[in-house]
């Protein structure tokens, strides 16, 4: 319990678990990709970074609120930093947005618009990987994965299955089922939780035609829709 100063305004907090929640309580819409209040904190994307009173930058989702903190959420340095993060994510991301099933509801796409990313200055050096169509309920496109880990945590923390995880490190890092198996070869129960938390088109609902509307007639989609709640703001 205490008070902090956010962008010059005094904001009281009680049991908020991190600085990000206090910022949101103040009505400030700070961008995030890897934070969800229902999942454990991962702190990977760094989009929620803010500055303290001395100009030190830190990820607000991973910091506990403390009485007397001074926080800046929208300085020129932060705007430049967030734009660079989105640019780097896009550089390693398949950019077929116009034909992507997630177009219009992709968080990365929305952030690129919001942060004014009009072109990507960096070359995409990521190796193209095969899509996984083996599951009756979802399609996994590793070329659209931004390594936020939301699907990994949703699968293990919400569903208690853990059929996907991180493999390799650094620029080689990937999300995949163990030993690069197909989804259908894992313990996946087709619940669709990974799709609910995926911010991009890396995991989408399996349809026969790729059309979301036609998918409404697909038995698998109806099953997933019943089990998985609608995507919510973290």
Q: Which residues bind ligand FES (CB under 6 A)?
A: 32-35, 43-48, 59, 61
192 versus 199: smaller Cβ distance to ligand FES? 199
* Least distance CB 48 / ligand FES (angstroms): 3
Report which DSSP code applies to 97. G
* Least distance CB 172 / ligand FES (angstroms): 21
* Least distance CB 200 / ligand FES (angstroms): 14
Q: Which residues of 28-59 are buried (b: 16+ CB within 10 A; e: fewer)?
A: bebbbbbbbeebebbbbbbbbbbbeeeeeebb
The CA-atom distances, in angstroms, between 190 and each of 76, 137, 153, 180 are 44, 6, 16, 18
- Do the beta carbons of residue 62 and residue 40 sit within 8 Å? no
6 versus 188: smaller Cβ distance to ligand FES? 6
24 versus 46: smaller Cβ distance to ligand FES? 46
C-alpha closest to that of 151 among 85, 62, 141: 141
26 versus 34: smaller Cβ distance to ligand FES? 34
* Least distance CB 99 / ligand FES (angstroms): 27
């Amino acid at each position: 319990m205490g008070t902090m100063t956010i962008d010059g305004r005094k904001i009281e907090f009680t049991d908020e678990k991190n600085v990000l929640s206090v910022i949101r309580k103040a009505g400030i819409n700070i961008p995030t990709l890897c934070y969800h209040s229902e999942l454990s904190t991962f702190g990977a994307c760094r989009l929620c970074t803010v500055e303290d009173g001395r100009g030190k930058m830190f990820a607000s989702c991973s910091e506990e609120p403390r009485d007397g903190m001074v926080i800046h959420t929208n300085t020129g340095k932060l705007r430049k930093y967030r734009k660079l993060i989105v640019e780097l994510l896009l550089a390693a991301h398949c950019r077929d947005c116009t034909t992507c099933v997630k177009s219009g509801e992709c968080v990365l796409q929305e952030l690129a618009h919001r942060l004014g990313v009009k072109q990507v200055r960096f070359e995409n050096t990521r190796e193209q990987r095969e899509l996984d169509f083996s599951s009756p309920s979802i399609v996994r496109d590793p070329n659209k994965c931004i390594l936020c880990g939301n699907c990994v945590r949703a699968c293990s923390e919400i569903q208690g299955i853990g059929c996907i995880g991180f493999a390799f490190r650094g620029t080689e890092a990937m999300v995949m089922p163990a030993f690069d198996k197909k989804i259908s070869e894992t313990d996946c129960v087709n619940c669709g939780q990974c799709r609910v938390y995926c911010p991009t088109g890396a995991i989408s609902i399996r349809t026969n035609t790729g059309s979301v509307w036609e998918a409404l007639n697909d038995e698998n989609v109806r099953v997933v829709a019943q089990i998985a709640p609608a995507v919510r703001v973290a």
